[in-house]
Structure 1
Amino acid sequence: MLKSYIKIAWRNLLRNKIFSAINISGLALGMACSLLIILWLQDERGVDGFHANGDYLYQVYESQFYDGKVGSGYTTQGLLAEELKKVIPEVQYASGLEYTAPPGTFNTFEAGEQAGKMDGYYAGTDFLSMFSYPLLHGNPQTALNGPTDIAISRKMATFFFGTPEKAIGKSIRFENKEDLQVTAIFEDVPANASRHFDFLRTWKAFVAENDWVGNWNNTSPATFVQLRKDADRNKVAAKMKDFIYRYKTKIEGERIELGIQPYPETYLYSIFKNGAPDGGRIEYVKLFTLVSIFILLIACINFMNLTTAQSAKRAKEVGLRKVIGAGRSSLIGQFMGEAMLLTACAFIIAVLLAILLLPAFNTLTGKQLSLPVSQPLFWLSLIGLLLVTGVVAGSYPALFLSSLNPVRVLKGGLKIGGGSTWLRKGLVVFQFALSIILMISMVVIYRQMNYIQTKNLGYDREDLVYIPIEGNLMGHYAHFKEEASRLPGILSVSKMRNSPTIIEHHTGDVAWEGKDPNDITSFADGVVGYDFVKTMKLQLKAGRDFSREFGADSVAYLLNETAVKKIGYKDPIGQMVTWRGNRGPVIGVLKDFHFNSIHQTIDPLIIRLDENWSWGTILIRTKAGKTKEAIASLEKLYTALNPGFPFTYQFSDLEYTKLYKSEKVVSVLSNYFALLAIFISCLGLFGLATFTAAQRTKEIGVRKVLGASVPNITAMLSGDFLKLILIAMVLGFPAAWLFMDQWLQGFAYKIDIEWWMFMLTGVVIACIALLTVSYQSLKAALMNPVKSLKIE
């Protein structure tokens, strides 16, 4: 019997080639899409999951409560890790972590004749004992003890020394200013780590090079702790809450609190609300989990509608089988078997599609995904996907066809009750409601991304180039600036400690006349050179930039508008402020500009002048259309003044774009998924149109005999489907608004969701639906009424 069922199923598949192809392609697209999303979701949830001590690793975050507001983040005090380990017994290990170069730039190393740029961090002595970066050579407990110790990756060891074995114990030159000793070689950081680096320097070196670390008002590094296995997390968190007041005076009405977050969660939950981690990339994980389910549901609904659309052709078969004694259970088994056969064909195609699309998908998402064919769990997941899809897609058609009354079918053909009709229409409404939600999401995400890319940041990021300060440039910046300013295509040159897109360092050590002693406001702080405002093309609201004509500018300050509002000066120019004990006048007020992601509000900013600051980036403003020539000239000058150091540069607009890489990926993926959902939904609509036309054949014939024209009949049939689309809009529009409004809350600066977005989506969906059903409507309307009336 099973063999007979398989033969019947295969013959039906071949007999209805067009419907079978549409059915299989719809399911294959849905499953291929779901499979790719599942791989992406597994990778996202697996980031930082490889650490053996992951259950006991935590990252410390700090929350500041003042003026009825709360600001939270991962920047902490430079001495915090050491003190936590000393004071709290449950802390087994603790480590700080800080960039060795401004974010987005690299450090230069030399060993023998080899020179190259590498990315790394300063890390505490315990770091390699806490995190699972396996050592090929060296001792994790002692690798980062001395101020000149350095641990390097396999890749870095191979690049400079040929093999990891040859690297251990060797000397390597750092930034052409000091020699470091390689004390450990660690395995290359895996792709599923949130932080990637080539080397680790010791925390002692960081503290020695940054005297501000000793001030507990200053924050910048990240802090990590590993708790003992018998420690109670809640008790440790309670001890840490007011830990900072061991080193600072507690002020009534204002407070600073420390918290701990499981380290494996920090990748997905990195946005803070009300002083606690609540959101971040997890929103995208949830989003695409729903998208995966929705697209698979849409594909299954499409299968149901197309299968029931063919039910008229199978009705007599069902009637005859029932007359000769076939039970309903056997018919359900037969039709479920056919559904599983179609699903299996679609599944094979889906896997092949996923394999073919995976390289492009990896390029788009920046991942290194692959099908884990060696893992049994992967095959179980595939079998589960096949079975779930087959059962969901085939259950309704099997139940529907097996329920047909054989007497009515054999006497007068297929007659469908109102309940079944409404169910199919409801499925189409559901499909298009989901498609509408996805399409509106696509429009909103695209508009938000366009807003980010075109937003006036308060400075001109076009034609702005960064060059890292390293090697001989540290002591020859003045000469480099003088020579660079004369080169063709260059408008101005300046410098700053960080880069304009990322100013992470904050200080609470800012005072002013009349300051409330309870005020604990943290200021972002910057160190710049002459011509900073000119080079950045910042706008001055009042006052002036730093100038060589005023010798006292070395103890003067620039503030942004937010800082002036916080301080409360009505006429700030000439007013005195104190930063780290240095009292000086405010000489200029900058209009607020964005120096971090627009996920965050603009912080108060204080800037001081220091032409002799030894590290950071050189900012170069080029003439429009002359950037290429300017860079070529800069490379010659750089090579002449700084031999042995590779010339590297970055474009400000590209660095800004990197801040929104995740959002860009989400935007592109949402476009593809929305279009795919609409396409599959239209396949289902096509099936329902076919089914409806078959059901109303006699009615159409009667109407034509009575004088109805082809346009009248086409409009009648199409109008019924447009009503379903309108219902889908009524359901989809509010859901889409709520969903995207919630998504936009993650941005401090965002677009408004406007009425035209819904209007555009509605018109596009309606036109697509009309085009989909018009073929079947016209075909039914053009049918000879004589043939139509003879059918029954």
Structure 2
Amino acid sequence: MLKNHFKIAWRNIKKDKLFTFIKIGGFAIGIAACLLITLFVSDELAYDRHYLKKNRIFRVYTKSVVDGELEQDAWHPAPFARALTADFPEIKKSGRLLNSELFGAGSKELRLEGDDQSNFEQGFVFVDQELLEILEIPFSQGNSENALSEPNTIVISGDKAAKYFPEGNAIGKSVVLDNDPAKSYRITGVMQETDTNSHFDYDFLLTTEGRDFYPGEDDNWAAQNYFTYVLLEDGVNTADLEKKLVAIVEDYLAPLAREMGSISAIEYLKNTTFGLQPIAEIHLKSIDINDGFKHGDIRFIWLFAAIAGFILLLACINFINLSTAKSANRAKEVGLRKTVGAFKTNLVFQFLTEAILFSALSFILGTLLAWLLLPNFNSMAAKSITMPWGQWWFIPTLTISALLIGVSAGLYPSFYLSSFRPVTVLKGSISAGSKSRRLRSGLVVFQFTTSIILIIGTLIIHKQMDYILRKKLGYDKEQVLLIKGANTLGDKIQNFKEQLLTVNEVVNVSISDYLPVEGTKRNMNPFWKAGMEQQEKAVGGQLWRIDHDYLNTLGIQLKKGRNFSRELASDSTDAAIINESMARGLGFVDPIGEKVSNGQHKTIIGVVEDFHLNNLKEEIVPLVLTIGNSRDIVTVKLNTEKMDDALESITSIWRKNAPNQPIRYSFLDQDFALMHEDVRRIGKIFNSFAVFAILVACLGLFALSAFLVEQRKKEISIRLVLGAPFKSIYTLLTLNFLRLVFIAILIAVPIGWFMMSRWLEDFAYPIKIGWEIFVMAGVLSLIIALVTISYQSVGAALIQPSKSLRAE
């Protein structure tokens, strides 16, 4: 019996090739899109879930209420971890991580001891030995139990070990960082290469043992630079422990604030508590925790999962629509089968067999399509996902999914078709889908509603990204070259700067590691009006060390006062320039000549126009600029139409000064764009799956219009014989479909507006969602629908009546 059902199903599949192609093609596209999103979501959800004791590993973060708003961050003082293990028996171990460029983490020039050639490497971080023990990172060489327990030791990744030590053994070898012999580190461990995802993604782990980043750091509770991780004892109730952690404030932080007499610190600590964040939640659930990491966002994970479900649902809707629309063609078959004794259950089983066969073929094609599209998807999403062909669960999951979706999509059509009465259908009284016209209309509306919401989302994301790239930033990012790793030049750096100024295309040159793009130094400090440290609240702001040519090189405008002068020695020691936000924060009406303090008093000689220090998701923060030594990045302002010639001249000068190190540079506008790559990436993903959804919806609309044209051929022929014009026939066939799309627009607009308004809340400078976006989305969807329908409608309006009426 089952074999016979499959034979009949296969025969019906081959009989109507157009509808078979659209059914399977639409299903396959939906399955491919769903599979790609599922792989993406699965990859994101897998972060930090491989740690053996993940249920007991937490990151400590601070929660404070400031001016009625909750602020959360994950930075803590150097002695914080030590106090946790000493004061709370529930905490078995605590370990620190420091990834700030200000203290030498991030990127460096690396060479093997004894070699002259340096290589640029990223992924340097300072960690405690205890953190290795907490995470239980597997080693391929060395001993993880004491690898970072001695000063000047380093653990490297397996990938870097293979790069620098192809002969195999890296233990005991030494590397020199930034061409500084004082920064020689002995390799004591090699991390085992794994294919797991983790926010702890570094290639070089530098020890904190014996390392003070400034005098007295080990007992300094004021500076907060470290992330702190803890391993709890078995059975600890985290909610109870969080309540106990407030004792840290009373025992260590509050006494310091009272000793300093800082009103702002005392007020801040009154509403400060600590939280414990599970390590498996750091990647996706840290959107409200300030930690400087590049995170995923759990909201987008669920959004993409919903999109995957909707696209698959659209494909199922196509199947239901086409199956019920073809009911008249199958009605006599049902009537004859019932007449010769077939039971309803036999017919239901027959139609379900067809649905399952359609689903199986669609899954095979959809899986292959996803596999072919995966490289492009990886490039778009910045992932390295592979198809899990070798995983034991993959094929069984696809098989069960094909069966379940086939049954789910085929259930209604099966019961609908099997319910026809033989007497009625054999008389020819069944009209095409007469019982399900409203259902088909509703499903078409649902399909286009989903597609239009995705179109609205895509348009708003692209408009926000365009706004970001075009917004006035307060500095000039065009034709600005950043030469990195310049600290390798040592004392020759000023000479290098002077040589660059001899190049015709070079307008100005500055030396500073503090730049308005990610990957450069940051230094958060509290600031007061000088002398008001104990009377007023501090203003949190950035302290950037620059040189005399910084403002001119970046085109930053002075609003008041003057720039730093080489002629005045006091400018290099006692002067500061602030931005407008700092002036407002400190309450200065006329800041020039006033003093600003962060423990040291500086005389304000100028006020610069506010410029964006970070990405445009963040507001402009108060800023203090001082002259200081910061020599890793040389910024070169160019003015040329022959960029290649300018770069060749600059590279030649570099080679003369650093013959053993290749020049490494980027352009400021490129680095700025990279800061917002996550927005661009989301836009691309939205755009891609909007195309998927529209394609599935259009395939269904095309098939429905083709079928309805076929059913109305004789009616159309009679109208043509009676003199109906082309326009009348065309309008007759298209108007109802366009009405459904218009209803979909009315439903989609408020939903799209609500969703994207919430998304824009993440930006400090969001665009305004104007009516033109919804008009554009509506017009675009109407055009797509019209083009889809027109192929059939135009063909029907141009048929020869004699051919259609010949049988009559």
Coarse TM-score class (shorter-chain normalised): over 0.9
Count of equivalent residues: 787
Q: Is residue 2:746 matched to residue 1:730?
A: yes
Distance (Å, rounded) in 2 between the aligned partners of 1:539 and 1:762: 43
Once the two structures are TM-superposed, the CA of residue 766 in structure 1 deviates from its matched residue by 0.9
Q: Is residue 2:241 matched to residue 1:236?
A: yes
Distance (Å, rounded) in 1 between the aligned partners of 2:563 and 2:87: 46
Structure 2 unaligned spans of 5+: none
Aligned to 2:98: 98
1:366-765 paired onto structure 2 within 5 Å? 366-415=382-431, 419-469=435-485, 472-502=488-518, 504-508=522-526, 510-514=528-532, 517=535, 519-553=537-571, 554-579=573-598, 581-610=599-628, 612-613=629-630, 615-696=631-712, 699-700=715-716, 703-704=719-720, 707-765=723-781
Distance (Å, rounded) in 2 between the aligned partners of 1:274 and 1:145: 30
Q: Describe the shift of the 1:603–1:137 C-alpha distance in structure 2 as closer, same or farther (beyond 3 A).
A: same
Does the residue aligned with 2:303 lie in a helix, a strand or coil? helix
Aligned to 1:140: 144
Distance (Å, rounded) in 2 between the aligned partners of 1:791 and 1:297: 40
Structure 1 unaligned spans of 5+: none
Distance (Å, rounded) in 1 between the aligned partners of 2:428 and 2:11: 25
CA contact (8 A) 2:575 2:626 kept: yes
Once the two structures are TM-superposed, the CA of residue 515 in structure 1 deviates from its matched residue by 5.5
Aligned to 1:203: 208
Q: Describe the shift of the 1:418–1:504 C-alpha distance in structure 2 as closer, same or farther (beyond 3 A).
A: farther
Distance (Å, rounded) in 2 between the aligned partners of 1:464 and 1:693: 61
Q: Describe the shift of the 1:783–1:634 C-alpha distance in structure 2 as closer, same or farther (beyond 3 A).
A: closer
TM-score, length-normalised on structure 1? 0.93
The residue type equivalent to 2:92 in the other structure is: Q
Aligned to 2:111: 109
- Residues 249-277 of structure 1: CA deviation (Å, up to 9, x unaligned): 265643344333112211112221899x9
Q: Describe the shift of the 1:101–1:253 C-alpha distance in structure 2 as closer, same or farther (beyond 3 A).
A: closer
Distance (Å, rounded) in 1 between the aligned partners of 2:203 and 2:465: 32
- Residues 145-195 of structure 1: CA deviation (Å, up to 9, x unaligned): 222111122233333333442x21222222222222222222246462234
Q: Is residue 2:58 matched to residue 1:53?
A: no
Once the two structures are TM-superposed, the CA of residue 244 in structure 1 deviates from its matched residue by 4.3
CA contact (8 A) 1:492 1:622 kept: yes
Q: Describe the shift of the 1:157–1:767 C-alpha distance in structure 2 as closer, same or farther (beyond 3 A).
A: closer
Does the residue aligned with 1:59 lie in a helix, a strand or coil? strand
Does the residue aligned with 2:330 lie in a helix, a strand or coil? helix
Once the two structures are TM-superposed, the CA of residue 472 in structure 1 deviates from its matched residue by 4.3
- Residues 444-478 of structure 1: CA deviation (Å, up to 9, x unaligned): 11111112222222212222222334554233332
Deviates more, 1:647-656 or 1:566-575: 647-656
Once the two structures are TM-superposed, the CA of residue 70 in structure 1 deviates from its matched residue by 4.2
Q: Describe the shift of the 1:477–1:417 C-alpha distance in structure 2 as closer, same or farther (beyond 3 A).
A: closer
Identity of aligned residues (%): 35
Distance (Å, rounded) in 2 between the aligned partners of 1:196 and 1:624: 40
Does the residue aligned with 1:508 lie in a helix, a strand or coil? strand
Deviates more, 1:427-436 or 1:338-347: 338-347
- Residues 112-163 of structure 1: CA deviation (Å, up to 9, x unaligned): 3364232211111212112243112333232212221111222333333334
Aligned to 1:193: 198
CA contact (8 A) 1:27 1:299 kept: yes
CA contact (8 A) 1:66 1:521 kept: no
1:179-328 paired onto structure 2 within 5 Å? 179-188=184-193, 190=195, 192-204=197-209, 206-208=211-213, 215-241=220-246, 243-245=248-250, 246-247=252-253, 248-249=256-257, 253-255=267-269, 256-272=272-288, 281-328=297-344
Deviates more, 1:782-791 or 1:57-66: 782-791
Does the residue aligned with 2:584 lie in a helix, a strand or coil? helix
Once the two structures are TM-superposed, the CA of residue 293 in structure 1 deviates from its matched residue by 0.6
Does the residue aligned with 1:183 lie in a helix, a strand or coil? strand
The residue type equivalent to 1:641 in the other structure is: N
Q: Describe the shift of the 1:215–1:369 C-alpha distance in structure 2 as closer, same or farther (beyond 3 A).
A: same
Distance (Å, rounded) in 1 between the aligned partners of 2:632 and 2:63: 28
Aligned to 1:175: 178
Q: Describe the shift of the 1:595–1:123 C-alpha distance in structure 2 as closer, same or farther (beyond 3 A).
A: same
Q: Describe the shift of the 1:30–1:206 C-alpha distance in structure 2 as closer, same or farther (beyond 3 A).
A: farther
CA contact (8 A) 1:218 1:506 kept: no
Q: Describe the shift of the 1:396–1:776 C-alpha distance in structure 2 as closer, same or farther (beyond 3 A).
A: farther
The residue type equivalent to 2:317 in the other structure is: I
Q: Describe the shift of the 1:345–1:747 C-alpha distance in structure 2 as closer, same or farther (beyond 3 A).
A: same
Give the alignment partner of residue 353 of structure 2, picking from 337, 341, 355.
337
Distance (Å, rounded) in 2 between the aligned partners of 1:384 and 1:517: 69
- Residues 1-33 of structure 1: CA deviation (Å, up to 9, x unaligned): 222222211111111111111111111111111
CA contact (8 A) 2:22 2:703 kept: no
1:359-370 paired onto structure 2 within 5 Å? 359-370=375-386
CA contact (8 A) 1:101 1:107 kept: no
Q: What RMSD, in angstroms, separates the aligned Cα atoms of the two structures? A: 2.8
The residue type equivalent to 2:120 in the other structure is: K
Distance (Å, rounded) in 2 between the aligned partners of 1:705 and 1:644: 88
Aligned to 2:84: 84
The residue type equivalent to 1:207 in the other structure is: D
Does the residue aligned with 1:595 lie in a helix, a strand or coil? coil
